[in-house]
Amino acid sequence: MVYDEASGDIHALSPVAGELLQQVLTVQQSCAESLALALLGEPPTAHDVRRVDKLLQDFESLGFIEPCSA
């Protein structure tokens, strides 16, 4: 569960989304591929990377994260 203080909304995250958000919040900068690798503990497939990228886009649209320049 994530509470958004700005909107007052509560968001229920899947276990994978929760782990990903925790990883994003503890790592300075990371790409979808390196985050997928950290979550899986093995090289991710293209599908895994796309799923992580989609979650990152969802987090951004909800205002949980902001994009950073590479």
Please state the pTM of the whole predicted model.
0.82
Confidence band for 59, pLDDT divided at 50, 70 and 90? very high
Confidence band for 69, pLDDT divided at 50, 70 and 90? low
Say how many CA atoms lie within 13 Å of 26 toward its Cβ: 9
CA angle 63, 70, 32 (to 5 degrees): 60
Q: Tens digit of pLDDT for each residue in 7-57?
A: 787 888 999 999 999 998 888 778 899 999 999 999 999 999 999 999 999
